[in-house]
Amino acid sequence: MLNQSQLDAIDQAIIENLITEGIDHVIYMDMAGNTIAKHDNGSNSLDSTAFAALAAGNFAAVDAMAKLVGESEFSLLFHKGEKSSIHFSKVNDDTLLIAMFNKDISLGLVRLKVAQTIEQIDKILATD
Amino acid sequence: MALINVKTKEVQIKIVYYGPGRGGKTTNLEYINKTYREQIKTEMVSLKTQDDRTLFFDFLPFDVGQIKGFDVTIQLYTVPGQVKYNATRRLVLRGVDGIVFVADVQKDQRKKNIDSLNQLYENLGTYNLDLFKMPLVMQYNKIDLKKNNIPIIPSKIMQKDLNINLRAPAFEASALKGGNVIPTLKRIISMTLASIQDQLF
Amino acid sequence: MNSVTELGIIIKNLETIITDEDIKELNLALKDIRQRYENTASVIILIKMVQTLIKYLSSKKEKAHADSMPLLQSISGNLEKIINTPYLEDNEVNKIISEQTREYKLFQSKITSNPTIPTEDIDNLKAVILAIDWEISDTTLESFDTVVSQMISKYKNYKIHYSFLKIMHATGKFIGVQKASAPANSISFLRSVFDNFHDIVETKEMPFKEKRRLIEQDMERFQDFKQDISKQKKTNAAGPDTDPAGDDRDEDGSEVMPALSHVKSSNDTSEEEFGPLIELDEDESSLEAEKNGQESLHLPIPGNGLDPDEQKDVMDDLFTVKDSPADDLLDAIHLMEVHGDKGQNQAMKMLDQADEDQAGLKNFRPERKDTTTPIPEIDSRLDAFFSLDEPDQADELETIEDTQSLDDISEQALEKTEDVSESITPFELDDESFEEMIPENDAEKIFSPDLILLNKLKDAFVKKEYLEDEAVLDSIQEDIQGLRKMWADDSQKQSLLDIISISVNLPSSVSPATEEPNTEVETDEFMETGQDLPGAESKGVLGKIKSMFTR
């Protein structure tokens, strides 16, 4: 479990690296579909409970598919929409980071920023 | 929706085990899979959380052999039971042909059973399906807990709570130990096939 | 007639395509003028212009720019003016020259702004930019750099193209350096520069003015872009916004309305009016309870909890299963996530499509008709399928019977009069449990030495020759010893080997039919070790089997 200071630090990392950098929604969640932290830039609304549950199922299903084709996991899980797209990233075996973004920012950049954020989260989680 | 290939003489039906969280849906399938490993040649797909809650669905397909020249395949699914997974439940229900409602007889689960059944009715509505018109079997699971002095709801009350309007066949069960798991399954398969037998056989 | 006038006449009479004759004549005239006015700078300048133009015209011939002739004429006109007009003031001359120079330069940029850039180059550039759009890595950045640098050196003479390429190159380099810290619009800026570049290449008739406007615009944007980068990033201090994990909420309701009462209400509570209620015998369930205790069911496909190697192994089997509706379902869930609530419809449409695609198939919605009795074939098939007693499928190896639960074996031991072959059945189970415990792929299974020995043992038991033949019995014991050595580290396997060797020593002396199932021994082991460990279940199983034969 995470203590309050870890949660605060994670919030900070997400806001600084992602929300202020042009990403619309970020959800940090566990593999069971529970939201640990969520942030957005106010641009649109999202039913995050259903979203997180489905995201967890989606990730689990894709992970199972990876094993079916002989991969331990897929490194990119990304759904491209007309206006909004979502990017999944595994933080560790227990948690996921989902980033939802619009056309103003490229996937390449999102991936870099997410990777950077995850590095910071890993450090935060290691301090216990 | 039952899939019938008249040319290759194959029939596929989808049975969904539905009910509140931790009621025993997955346990039903696990028992079936374990007991009939030889006959069920395919593996069960189970997408679950670390603490063994169904996250997405369990899926167990198997062939039962030929009935009047048709190869019959049964696809068993379970839905995730927890309240927050309703969106996923709805998707798993798509194309369902027969339903087993697995209710938990523990006293503190009483309302959950009812809520789950009501929600099932709503979810089916999104596909223009009527629960009252579907092949349906009720299972009152975990009756073995009586012996452990855990307060359980008597079957009479279960019937009143859940089956008073539906009037589906009901089975007391103990999925963990296998009690009435197979009879439930046989019944729902039989009912489902019977409802399409005119087109088939 | 002086040479200038002569020049003027020649030029006037030039046809669209300049001939070698013309060139000769022109050069002669120019040489003469040059000699005469070698000290007059203005004249020299104009002569040079004419000479360059002639070269251009002769090389391009019919492909020469439409403005080349008019320009030539205008230059020669000015040349005549300067030479023939007496007392032309200096500033007048300068004016003419500067005017002409401007015109000339304009023409120059016109002709140099239309290089033919092959589509291949454009496509390559597009590809590397798209690659960066998707992934900013050393590989993608390197490819981008290579392509753009190549194009820069190729088109360095074409100022406008060159400028665009330089902007793109600089932007790309910058992104490469900044990486994650690059501002959000970096890539979209790069793309827009490329789009403008693409436009000017593709649009042949684009007026020069437009091209210039575009490049100037992008240059300005590039400057802005650089400025943005040098600004400080503001940090937002937002409070933590954590959502505690949602739990199921249990509401306590004293008055409980039956389900679906809002849909249909029935006041009739007489029991006959319900559907049939099939009860579960207490005896049945208690018998099960004694045998299984709290036996947990081992999942064939474990979830997140288990070893990835094991998962992989089991998933390999799934690979051979043909396309199932479960896959369609998974795709539908993907769709749903992208579009939220709207996605429900999209997901369903997608699944509908999947159904439609299977042309020539019928779909039926089963309706529960309580009046419909299933045809007898349905029930008899189900009974046959779900029966555990008879060997439903005949296999080549006759001793491998249908999978039996542990309870059934002990039941059989209790109820049936068995010959020795029945007692062999548990060993089949042992073999299977070995395979479960060793997560190897199929190739390894075929060639591993212990499996070779195991198969040998299996054959020996099938043939039952050891019952009569001492030699066979000895060889069995040898094989068992061999396996013992191979599995020295595995206590579970050692136990299994014990059981096998014990039973081999007992063929004539003990009839297992008279044994009673011992349900007391070693049920603690697997109760304690919890649900997730596959080993736990087999330990208990082993214990029971062992106990059956050691009493």
- Tell whether the model's pLDDT for residue C397 goes beyond 70: no
Which of chain A's residues have a Cβ under 8 Å away from the Cβ of B88? Answer: 53-54, 57
Output the six-digit token pair for C182: 């690059």
Cβ(A125)–Cβ(A13) below 8 Å: no
- Tell whether the model's pLDDT for residue C392 goes beyond 60: no
Percent of chain C with pLDDT over 90: 10
* Min Cα–Cα distance to chain B from C277, Å: 5
Q: Between B153 and C486, whose confidence is greater? A: B153
Per-residue DSSP letters for C255-309?
S-PPTTTTT-------GGGSPPEE---HHHHHHHHHHHTTPPPPPSS--TTS-HH
Stretch among B70-79, B88-97, C519-528 having the lowest mean pLDDT: C519-528
Nearest CA in chain A to B79: A57
What pLDDT digit, counting tens, does each position of C159-213 carry?
A: 888 999 999 999 999 999 988 888 888 899 999 999 999 988 888 777 778 888 8
Q: Is A39 helix (H, G, I), strand (E, B) or coil?
A: strand
Contact flag B88-A53 (C-beta cutoff 8 Å): yes
Q: Model confidence at C408, in pLDDT bands (50, 70, 90)?
A: very low
Looking at residue C541, its pLDDT comes to: 67
Task: Note which residues in 98-137 of chain B have CB less than 8 A from chain C.
Answer: 98, 108, 110-114, 117-118, 121, 126-127, 129, 131-136
Stretch among B104-108, C275-279, C293-297, C397-401 having the lowest mean pLDDT: C397-401
Mean pLDDT of C130-152: 92
Contact flag A79-C338 (C-beta cutoff 8 Å): yes
Alpha-carbon distance of B112 to B116, in angstroms, equals: 6
| E strand or H helix that includes residue C447 | helix C442-447
Query: B: neighbours with 3+ CB pairs under 8 Å?
Result: A, C
Type of residue numbered C546: K
- Tell whether the model's pLDDT for residue C420 goes beyond 60: no
Nearest CA in chain B to C403: B38
Q: Chain B contact for A112, CB < 8 A?
A: no
- Tell whether the model's pLDDT for residue B168 goes beyond 90: yes
Reported pTM = 0.54
Looking at residue C341, its pLDDT comes to: 54
Residue A108, φ and ψ in degrees, nearest 5: -55, -45
Contact flag A53-B53 (C-beta cutoff 8 Å): no
Chain C interface disruption, residue of A106, A111, A114, A118, most C CBs within 10 A: A106
Residue B77, φ and ψ in degrees, nearest 5: -130, 150
Looking at residue C329, its pLDDT comes to: 64
Nearest CA in chain A to B49: A32
- Tell whether the model's pLDDT for residue C527 goes beyond 60: no
Cβ(C79)–Cβ(C99) below 8 Å: no
Which of chain A's residues have a Cβ under 8 Å away from the Cβ of C319? Answer: 68-69
- Mean pLDDT is highest, among C103-112, C212-221, C331-340, for C212-221
* Min Cα–Cα distance to chain A from C538, Å: 26
Which of chain C's residues have a Cβ under 8 Å away from the Cβ of A100? Answer: none
Which one of A49, A61, A94 has the shortest CB-CB distance to B56? A61
Work out whether strand A84-92 and strand A77-79 pair parallel, antiparallel, or are unpaired.
antiparallel
What pLDDT digit, counting tens, does each position of C434-458 carry?
A: 333 333 344 444 456 777 788 888 8
* Min Cα–Cα distance to chain C from A106, Å: 5
What pLDDT digit, counting tens, does each position of A78-91 carry?
A: 999 999 999 999 99
Do the interacting molecules here have an ipTM over 0.90? no
Contacts with B29 (C-beta within 8 Å, 6 or more apart), sequence order: B17, B44, B58, B60, B76, B78
Looking at residue C310, its pLDDT comes to: 41
Q: Model confidence at C512, in pLDDT bands (50, 70, 90)?
A: very low
Alpha helix ranges (H) inside C135-207? 138-154, 159-178, 186-202
Looking at residue C545, its pLDDT comes to: 66
Q: Model confidence at C483, in pLDDT bands (50, 70, 90)?
A: confident
Q: Match 């957005």 to its residue by tokens.
A: A40
HSE (side-chain half, CA atoms, 13 Å) at C446? 2
Contact flag B165-C248 (C-beta cutoff 8 Å): no
The crossing angle, in degrees rounded to 10, of helices B25-35 and B181-200 is 80
Looking at residue B141, its pLDDT comes to: 95
Residue B85: which of B181, B142, B19 has the closest Cα?
Answer: B19
Q: CB A39: neighbour CB atoms within 10 A?
A: 20
Nearest CA in chain C to A63: C304
Cβ(B16)–Cβ(C386) below 8 Å: no
Query: C: neighbours with 3+ CB pairs under 8 Å?
Result: A, B
Nearest CA in chain B to A35: B84
Output the six-digit token pair for A108: 């390449």
Mean pLDDT of C52-78: 82
- Tell whether the model's pLDDT for residue C292 goes beyond 50: no
Looking at residue C241, its pLDDT comes to: 38
Which one of C269, C280, C362 has the shortest CB-CB distance to B6? C362
Mean pLDDT of C281-309: 44
Alpha-carbon distance of A40 to A21, in angstroms, equals: 11
Chain B interface disruption, residue of A31, A48, A67, A94, most B CBs within 10 A: A31
Contact flag B47-A60 (C-beta cutoff 8 Å): yes
Task: Note which residues in 72-101 of chain A have CB less than 8 A from chain C.
Answer: 72, 79, 81, 84-86, 93
- Tell whether the model's pLDDT for residue B41 goes beyond 90: no
- Tell whether the model's pLDDT for residue C358 goes beyond 60: no
**Which region holds residue B14: left if phi is over 0, alpha if psi is between -120 and 50, else beta?**
beta
Q: Chain C contact for A21, CB < 8 A?
A: yes
Within its chain, how far is the Cα of B12 from the centroid? Answer: 16
Q: Is C317 helix (H, G, I), strand (E, B) or coil?
A: helix
Residue C437, φ and ψ in degrees, nearest 5: -80, -25
Stretch among B147-156, C13-22, C145-154, C374-383 having the lowest mean pLDDT: C13-22
Contact flag B45-C344 (C-beta cutoff 8 Å): no
Q: Model confidence at C39, in pLDDT bands (50, 70, 90)?
A: confident
The crossing angle, in degrees rounded to 10, of helices C491-505 and C420-437 is 170
Within its chain, how far is the Cα of B197 from the centroid? Answer: 21
Which one of A32, A54, A61 has the shortest CB-CB distance to B49? A32
What is the overall mean pLDDT for chain C?
69
Which one of C300, C303, C367 has the shortest CB-CB distance to B48? C303
Alpha-carbon distance of C468 to C519, in angstroms, equals: 33
Cβ(B193)–Cβ(B145) below 8 Å: no
Alpha helix ranges (H) inside C13-118? 20-36, 41-60, 68-84, 90-112
- Tell whether the model's pLDDT for residue C324 goes beyond 70: no
Looking at residue C266, its pLDDT comes to: 58
Which of chain C's residues have a Cβ under 8 Å away from the Cβ of B192? Answer: 366
Looking at residue C194, its pLDDT comes to: 94
Output the six-digit token pair for A15: 């806001």
Contact flag C136-A4 (C-beta cutoff 8 Å): no
- Tell whether the model's pLDDT for residue C283 goes beyond 90: no
Q: Chain C contact for A37, CB < 8 A?
A: yes
* Min Cα–Cα distance to chain C from A19, Å: 9
Contact flag B87-C336 (C-beta cutoff 8 Å): yes
Q: Model confidence at C311, in pLDDT bands (50, 70, 90)?
A: very low
Which one of A49, A50, A56 has the shortest CB-CB distance to B55? A56
* Min Cα–Cα distance to chain A from C196, Å: 18
Q: Model confidence at B106, in pLDDT bands (50, 70, 90)?
A: very high
* Min Cα–Cα distance to chain A from B148, Å: 31
Task: Note which residues in 20-49 of chain B have CB less than 8 A from chain C.
Answer: 21, 27, 30-31, 33-39, 42-49
* Min Cα–Cα distance to chain B from A57, Å: 5
Per-residue DSSP letters for C364-402?
E-----TTPPPPHHHHHHHHHHT--SS--S--SSTT--S
Type of residue numbered C56: Y
Contact flag A111-C242 (C-beta cutoff 8 Å): no
Cβ(C298)–Cβ(C534) below 8 Å: yes
